[in-house]
Amino acid sequence: MKKNLTMKWIKVLVIILILIFLIVFFSCSYFLLKDYSELKENNESTENLIEDTIEVNPETQVVSIDWDYLKSVNEDIIGWLEIENTNISYPILKDNNLYYLKHSFDKKYNSNGSIFTTDTSPFIDLQTTIYGHNMKNGSMFSNLAKYLDKDFLYSHLKLKIYTPTCDYEGTIFSAYSIGVDTESKNIKSLDFNELVNYYKKASKYTIEINGEINKIVKLSTCSYINQKTTPTDQRYYIIAYLIPIE
């Protein structure tokens, strides 16, 4: 009798374990498929937008952007960021309430989010900060993590920012990772020149600067260097000085 009861409990336990396994398996499969679907949709939308709005002269390599079309897609698009030899080529969205943390440039819900700024006067102010997710699928600002590698940094110093009123070439002069609260405290009371000096000193590597720095862009994304907290409080910061393209 006891043996029969024991066997029944074993069978029940096995069934429960199988059910738990199936629940976990299908849950993981669902989220993986969801992530893949959102990434695919985001990539396709961005590629279509590039094809519809950006034209490069094959002889001069001058870039032309159809800003009227971009604005018809979304009035919040205020620029375009491109870093050569990376997958970073995205519209920049003006965001007032962190809407684009979880929405693509066409306002569809997407966990990849968008590349965005919360600044009041982006690219008019002396510093503009641009945010993007550090997606484990390799999209958005995930490439910024590579800037703490010296070889990658020195082979990817240039970026381009296009806006309706002015286009800029950026040269990266600082790359580092630090806690977001610590960074906020460090820069809170600095004027522009002090800010530039702070970024130079904070950089993991010393980068030679040619000329005067009058305007900068700061790229920010989550860093997984310190994973003691979830989500990590660390950020990668990549700072470039901007010069208008004539």
pLDDT score recorded for residue 116: 95
For range 152-180, the mean pLDDT? 95
Mean pLDDT lowest for which of 24-33, 102-111, 204-213, 232-241? 24-33
Confidence grade of residue 204 (pLDDT, cut at 50, 70, 90): very high
pLDDT at 33 over 50: no
Q: Which residues does 108 contact at the CB level (< 8 Å), separation at least 6?
A: 41, 45
Residue 5 in any domain: the answer is: no
Whole-prediction pTM value?
A: 0.79
Residue 118 in any domain: the answer is: yes
How far apart are the C-alpha atoms of 137 and 112, rounded to whole Å?
9
Please tell me which residue, 45 or 25, carries the higher pLDDT value. 45
pLDDT score recorded for residue 160: 95
pLDDT score recorded for residue 21: 53
Residue 239 in any domain: the answer is: yes
Interhelix angle for 180-187 vs 192-202, to 10°? 140
- Per the structure, the count of domains in the chain is 1
Residue 99 in any domain: the answer is: yes
Residue 199 in any domain: the answer is: yes
Percentage of the chain beyond pLDDT 70 is 76
CA–centroid distance for 21 within its chain: 35
CATH number at residue 147: 2.40.260.10
